[in-house]
Structures are given as structure tokens and as C-alpha cells.
Amino acid sequence: MGISAIDVHLPEALRPWPTAHLRRLGRDFDGGYLVDARDLAQSDALLAMGIASDWSFEADFLRIRPTPLRAYDASMGERHFRNKMLRSLLHVHRPSRFSKRLRIWKDYKQFFVGDRVHIRKFVGHGPSDLYLSPEQILSEARSLGRKVFVKMDIEGAEYDCLQALIDHADQLSGLAVEFHDIGARCGELVDFVAQFPLRLVHLHPQNGAHVTRDGVPDLIELTFSSAAMQDAPEDGAALQLPHPLDCPGDPNQPDLRLSFR
């Protein structure tokens, strides 16, 4: 018998605009996002804000649209992955851990080469030796081309970036972002969606994360599209949530059944 889905809800203002152009980039389960394929075609660069140990989204994006990549994350790097791999040698009873970390270390060194640049800074407003502000990142990205696609997963710091995204919306081809703490900060997200010119085309609540007592999911993925801004209502497919390409963040946890109020 399957695990029963959990009913959750979000404000009607977050209902996405239907589009027939969604495709999945990145691995199954946590780490992948649905994007409007038309936005890739007009992207001159990819900005990845938050990487950790998974760059499957970036790899899929660049296979389809080879562009410069700037990836921002101070929590990882070649030395970080190498040291984790070497430490795993101490756990001789868990050889699979060493194999996995060796694979990640090698993949990192092979992927981040040439114009695929990892910048060891966090995104946000903090000490300059550790942080780059979203305003600075987006301003500097103008040298990469007219339009950039932004993927953002920065563990709650996304709220500090919202005004910069609005101010630089003219240079964004698309935006895929993971929002945290929705139960407490849903109003900020609703205000952002109302002000942000790009059209919200997909929303996916992540299972495995906290759901408030009122039934609000604390972790959701949103995708915004510049191409969809030109779509008339009859141009889109019927809205499907979850979309057939969606995957639960944790396949071992109950999925979430979403409604809008």
C-alpha cells in the first residue's frame, strides 16, 4: 500500500500560469527543477547561487545551452571535496562512502573548468571576504551577455535577494528558486510575485520538509519565465500540479497534495 499524500495549501496569488513548455533539468528527486525550455534559448549565461555537492541542474542546462557559468557557494570546493574523500578512508567498513566522495571530487574537477567558474562566496549581505551581494553579482553578470538565467537555492537567504531580482528583472531570462520558511514568510513571497515582471509558470512543494499546523508547506520550488510573459491564456496547457515531470524531494516520505485558497 502506498503512503497517503498530505494535503497542503498556498494562497491563490501563487497559482502558476499554465505553459506547455516545461522540461526538467537536474537529477530526479531533490536537485532538479522544471523550467520553460524557451528561456534557455535566450540565455547568454547561467548564474547558480548555491551548489553544495549537486550540479546536475547546471550540467543539464549547459548540455542544452552551452554558456558561461558562474556558481556561487563558499561551503564547498576542490579542497573541501578532497578532504572529505580522504577522511572517508578512515571508515574502512563503509567503502561505498569513499567511492561516492571520490566520484564527487573527480566530477567537480572535471566540471568546473574553462568558462564554468566556481566562486567561493556566499550570496547575500555580509563580510566582503565571504559574501557577494546579489546586486553586485547581477551587475557584473551584464558583462556575460544580455540575458542570464538564475538558479537559486541559498537556504533562506533568498529573501534578501528579492529586491535585487526585481531591480534586475530586465536581464533575467528565467529564474528557478527554492523558497524556505513559507509558513512564516509567505506574505513576502506573495508581494514578490506581484512585483516581479517574469511570469510564475511552476510551483512544487517539497515533501520531507516541515508542514505547518495550518497545512502550509515550508519549502517550495518556484520557476519564473520571461518567454511566458508573451503568452495569451489560450496558449498554455491546462495547469497540472504536480506536473508529470515533478519528483518528490524525498521518495521515502509522503508526497504533498496542493490546493490554492
Tell me, yes or no, whether 110 lies in a domain: no
Tell me, yes or no, whether 35 lies in a domain: yes
With 70 as the cut, is the pLDDT of residue 83 above it?
no
Q: Let me know: does 216 contact 33? Beta carbons within 8 Å.
A: no
Instruction: For residue 89, give every residue at least 6 positions away whose Cβ sits within 8 Å of its Cβ, in sequence order, or none.
Output: 98
pTM above 0.85, yes or no: yes
Residue linked to cell 528558486: 177
Residue-wise pLDDT for 177-208, tens only, equals: 999 999 999 999 999 999 999 999 999 999 98
Tell me, yes or no, whether 39 lies in a domain: yes
Residue-wise pLDDT for 57-67, tens only, equals: 999 999 999 99
Tell me, yes or no, whether 239 lies in a domain: no
Tell me, yes or no, whether 184 lies in a domain: yes
What does the block give as the cell for 114?
574553462
With 80 as the cut, is the pLDDT of residue 93 above it?
no
Tell me, yes or no, whether 105 lies in a domain: no
Helix axes 95-111, 78-87, angle to 10 degrees: 160
User: What CATH number corresponds to the domain at position 225?
Assistant: 3.40.50
Domain span at 34:
6-74+120-233+244-260
For residue 85, name the pLDDT band (cuts at 50, 70, 90): low
Query: Region 83-109: what's the mean pLDDT?
Result: 76
With 80 as the cut, is the pLDDT of residue 224 above it?
yes
Tell me, yes or no, whether 126 lies in a domain: yes
Query: How many structural domains are present in the chain?
Result: 1
Tell me, yes or no, whether 168 lies in a domain: yes
Q: Which amino acid is at 233?
A: P
What does the chain look like in DSSP terms, one character per residue? -PPPPEEEEE-GGGPPPP-S-EEEES-SSTT-EEEEHHHHHT-SEEEEE--TT--HHHHHHHHHS---EEEE-TT--HHHHHHHHHHGGG-TT-HHHHHHHHHHHHHHHHHS-TTEEEE--EESSS-TTTEE-HHHHHHHHGGG-S-EEEEE--TTGGGGGHHHHHHTGGGEEEEEEEE--HHHHHHHHHHHHHH-SSEEEEEEEPTTS-B-TTS-BS-EEEEEESGGGG--GGGSPPP-SS-TT---S-TTS--EEEEE-
